Amino acid sequence: MRRFLIPALMLVLAIAGPATAATPETLVEERARAEWGAQLPEGAEIRVRVNGRRPEDAVMFSDYWMDRKTGQFLANAVLENGQVQRIGGLVWASIAVPVTTRRLMPGEILRDADLDDLDLPLNRVGAYTVVDRTALVGMQVRRMLPQGRPVMQQSVIKPLVITRGDRIEIVFDDGQVRVSAPGRSLEDAHRGQELRIVNLVSNRSLVGMATEPGLVEIVR
């Protein structure tokens, strides 16, 4: 059966016209991207390792199989002379993830110098791992961040301008009348976040919006 395979492939290639040869790694990457499709996040890179003896170039794969969980693959590579060579190996997706360059304590503000990029296999990146480095710069550390580890979404917050128990100024301004009163915050809040407060004059609980450090504007 095999003696008929090579002439048949050569005939197909002749009918299709000259094909551009590529490395086996390139052909595997094309197949893997097609297999994973929309599951690949933006910025992901495909890594390929071919085991054992491999051809320098191939025109196409006549057969291709890949285990999407383990990344193991087998392929029949069609060479430029029409011969077929079986190859196998491993293919995986990786992505650059920001990691901390030093240990960071709660309350610190993340700077770009506090971050570095680490290339990790996609299956080691959790659903709550922050992958956008720019999204971390300027954020406040909520939980201690060990050095050299990816940052989880729940470990950082927008910088707080008011913390629970702070003495604050309560302001009401409708454009015509502006009044203020002393108060105390009952919750933490970042700029633009609503929080519960208490008016120290009337002893009433209110909901306001943190606008500046120590300043809360009544919104309802």
Residues 78 and 103 placed together within one structural domain of the fold: no
CATH number of the domain where residue 193 is located: 2.30.30.760
Q: Are residues 74 and 122 in the same domain?
A: no
Please say whether the beta carbons of 74 and 62 come within 8 A: no
How many independent structural domains does the chain possess? 3
- Does the predicted model carry a pTM greater than 0.85? no
Looking at 116, 132, 157, the residue that finishes a domain is 157
Residues belonging to the chain:
220
50 pLDDT higher than 50: yes
Give the CA radius of gyration of the chain: 30
Note whether 89 and 107 are same-domain residues: no
Residues sharing a CB contact under 8 Å with residue 65, sequence separation 6 or more, in sequence order: 73, 74, 75
pLDDT tens string 55-89: 999 999 999 999 988 899 999 999 998 899 999 99
Are 7 and 85 within one domain? yes
Tokens of 44: 């992901």
Q: What is the pLDDT of residues 115-158, one digit of tens each?
A: 999 999 988 898 899 999 999 999 999 999 999 999 999 999 99
- List the domain range (segments joined by +) for residue 113: 96-157
pLDDT band at 42 (very low <50, low <70, confident <90, very high): confident
